[in-house]
Amino acid sequence: MSLALLFPGQASQAVGMGADLQPYGNVLALADEVTGLPITELRLHGPLERLTATDVAQPAVVAVSLAALDVLRSHVPELSYAAVAGHSVGEYAAYVAAGVFDPRTALALVHVRAQAMLAACQAVDGIMAAVIGLDLEPLRVACAEASRDGSSIEVANMNAPGQLIVSGARDALDRLSDRAKAAGARRIAPLNVGGPFHSIYMRLAADPVARVVAAAEMRSPRVPVVLNASADVGVSPDQLREELVVQVYSPVRWIETLDRLQTLGCDRFLEVGPGQVLAGLVKRTLPSARVASFGSLGDLDAARAVL
């Protein structure tokens, strides 16, 4: 059986992330250069409110993930993995791990994505929230009932059994809360993100992303990449380009992504980047899998244990 690498998305950011990775490689500094933003200063010292803003959080999370990948490769020369996947913006780091493009290209594309999504967020009072304890179909029904008068809410991330994410207008979420709890949801918790990602409100961001993705050089992946929007295996550059556009406004099918990785023979999973969100989702979705997270040098022994 084999190892899959997983790369986290927005909401994994934290002040101080990647601090002990600074001496290794130049990917962290590259984020500042490519974006023109003080990513390093905000990543190390905050404030958290600014680090959480979409234009900063997305390149910061991807930069730390790529730096962690570089450190992992340097400390574990025998590193071998059979497949990769990334959650939302983490898909860009997954493409780098699969050899589709280099870190500079990834960060340049993420910068455009983040700017476009920030602009889309400013057009709506939007929010995302975790819905704990409710199945997918009852939640979809509740979302449909709560969406009205041009104000919508929809399922955005299928993260793990019993843990689904909704995204949309704030007033629609207010209406959804009562309906979801009446249907059996135990808790609804707002997420630490900058807007209603992976919803219809992000279609405004698709065209800017499509333009830069179309112009980017991409190669066929060296290992299978399981895609967010379809949970299919990406093979051709054209398929990979299309994925980066549609995933901006499409649900992240993470449960199906992990199931697909399992069918590819993966029984070990290593989350590469800040936080431990994806490791937790693996434990809930594939209880028999071995899983660890690697986001700092202190995680090295735990990472080696699953390699």
Task: Report the catalytic residues.
Answer: 88, 198
Task: List the strands of the sheet with 126-132, edge to edge.
Answer: 153-160, 163-169, 126-132, 187-190
The residue among 134, 147, 129, 250 whose CA lies nearest residue 185 is: 134
Task: Quote the longest CA-to-CA distance of the chain.
Answer: 56
Reported in sequence order, the residue ranges of the chain that DSSP labels E, i.e. its strands, are 2-7, 83-86, 126-132, 153-160, 163-169, 187-190, 225-226, 233-234, 266-272, 290-294
Distance CA 55, CA 131 (A): 26
Report the distance separating Cα 20 and Cα 55, nearest Å: 23
DSSP string across 86-129: ESTTHHHHHHHHTTSS-HHHHHHHHHHHHHHHHHHHTTS-EEEE
Whose CA is closest to 202, among 13, 10, 3? 10
Q: Which residues pair with 292 in a beta bridge?
A: 270
Contact 290, 269 (CB under 8 A): yes
The answer to whether 291 touches 283, Cβ cutoff 8 Å, is yes
Phi-psi region of 88 (alpha: psi -120 to 50; beta: other; left: phi over 0): left
